[in-house]
Chain A
Amino acid sequence: MSGADVLKVESLVVETAGEATVPILNSIAFSISAGETVCLVGESGSGKSVTALAVMGLLPKDALAARSGRILLGGEDLLAASPGRMRDLRASEIAMIFQEPMTALNPVLTVGRQIQEVLETHTTIPYRKHRQRVLDMLEQVHLPDPARIFHSYPHQMSGGQRQRIMIAMALILEPKLLIADEPTTALDVTTQKQILRLISELQQKQGTSVLFITHDMGVVADIADRVCVMHRGHIVETGKTQDVLRHPQRDYTRQLLTAVPSLIPRPVRPEDSKQIVLETTEMSKVYGSRSLFGGDPPVAAAKDVSLSLKRGRTLGIVGESGSGKSTVARCVTRLIDPTSGGIRVRGQEISDLSRRALRPYRKRIQIVFQDPYRSLNPRVTVGESIAEGPINFGTPRRQALDEARKLLELVGLPADAIGRYPHQFSGGQRQRIAIARAIAMEPDVLVADEAVSALDVSVQAQVLALLHELQQRLGVAILFITHDLRVAAQICDDVAVMQKGRIVEYGPAETVLRHPSEVYTRELIEAAPGRNWDFANFRPFTPEAPAAPPQG
């Protein structure tokens, strides 16, 4: 085994630079043999990306440093290699692709030029042959019309296309090792599926070893030969994927697996109330051309959206980016104004109310946003943030702050958190604060716009449980916007699937997610990574309880 190892990391220690060093990687060890795919899986802060950057020799110089251990690439210790030698090895022997295809490419150079640079730096291929070589590679990553793409700039391409460019750039010299750091996390599921397929296709063709970093157990189940589970700078468990998924040895691995929401919808809940608290009728939002002199044709971000939500229920809107789900969320909260159609909150039409007339109804519908790092004002204490709404609506200050304290306890935070600032909390805690802020207004409807998407699975599970509990206790209706079908399956009573601004399928979660009637819904479900695995029960789905919808 060790003779064929392409990469072998031995007791690698990485610490923060400077006087008081903090260990980031604690003596980790793993190896990858030729043609193999190894997944590093773990939650944020576990050290996955640091491991990748250490192998590439790209640790940020003034922040992190490798203290000891060895990183052997084909027997050569990379930690001992000179900067010049490392530069030679990059792209030719080890290549890397990154999470954010939107920002990983230089916006002011054409993509052809950016790929061609690799040839220019690492090969003696004459310049006149570069273009053909790049075009061949663009062909291999299945980009349409390579000759046109060659002269395109990154901003003219979609996220999936840009990731293909990154892959072309990484693999044009057929390196021995490809490091992929969450390469599909920022992409839609259907695009993710295509990119994963592309990586594995090129891997087979070139015999590349792949070190794949992900937080997504579904992706692990689909692509990994072996998996290393990371937790706080340690590799806590490593083994063949099947073994780790079926028989996890460590508690942490087990926790991680049980936190993965199942694709199978939760049992149907009885309806307690018939009262409709939110209803939209043929609501549309059209963005027209701004200029008098032509401009772009109008775009319908949402078209004829009709939904209804009863007290104490959860309605999910699922769809890929650009499908219009956030537009719907913003329209029903009147953060933006719908172009046409109706929005009724407890029977009151609010779609055509003026800003002033709308004010009393703002209370009834509250929103929680995706990114808890940006949705709380960093200069305002948590207590002030929560109490601000009620104070604006006439609650005496002292009483509002008392309420805020109770709310913090309700969302599982200590009451003394009230005087602290958002930066003193973790992402999950901040999302709890954002939920407390919304609940403080005692709304009828809580809109959660991708409210758990930025969180690690274990934290995600806790926040979902919190939402469920609050709903049970307060009877609030939840409009839950998500791109993640697993999350939708676990929290929603009803699900609406959106595509290109329209609802293509709408019904009870059980029906939509298990027996979809629309092709698009079926494609979404099929693209969900790891859909044949029942992670929480450490086994694949058996044919008797298939996750897959019936074909045809």
Chain B
Amino acid sequence: MNTDALSAETGAKPIMTARNVDVFYGKKQAIDNVSLDIPENQITALIGPSGCGKSTFLRCFNRMNDTIQICRVKGDIKFAGQDIYDPKVDVVALRSRIGMVFQKANPFPKSIFENVAYGPKIHSLAESKDHLEDIVITSLKRAGLYDEVSDRLDEPGTSLSGGQQQRLCIARAIAVDPQIILMDEPCSALDPIATAIIEELMDSMKEKYTIVIVTHSMQQAARVSQQTAFFHLGELVESGDTQAIFTNPEKERTQNYISGRIG
């Protein structure tokens, strides 16, 4: 695939580039020679059937795969021009620049305030108590949660509803001022209203952040993303402008998958 053509097509400069990426779990190859640009301030959706490698590929972007012993990543992934697999890279710092939101909301067993304040504290981002409070409130506002929790910031994060917990996790990711937010099926455990709220939030967030989302819902990919990449059996089959992918995909495999002809 011509990735230069891709960035020309989407019309945005890439903040992250992946070139010839292979991922292995032991001897099993999960990702095979994938190259993809992630355009800045856009939402990129990774779609494909279960086991196609989309989550594995997403986790390469902030080296979450490092936590899996048998996992090896080959190829070249650059964030703002810098090789993120360079041995000199501070992985903790990298993950503060490239945050992550998971399928199941996973707030810490702490108060709503402490959930959001935790990241800025360990990264020493706040100069004072007031500053920390500012960061927490701004993050909760950006995650569209503040109005719902402003009078109970000291209550446990786990007391919130599923959708609210997920937005708390987004606020927690935002609090350390990342540039990219990776989302791994963030709405799959949420009802349609909570999903719509998150989608609306993502749309407003893309002004400030770049988002990469893995989703099983093609309707969701079509609704929220500007660029869509379709994975199948560890390969990137096709990527490009979301509207083009969903109305007139180039590859037959994409056509078959999105129109419900292969599982």
B is bound to A: no
Residues of A within 8 A of B (CB): none
Residues of B within 8 A of A (CB): none
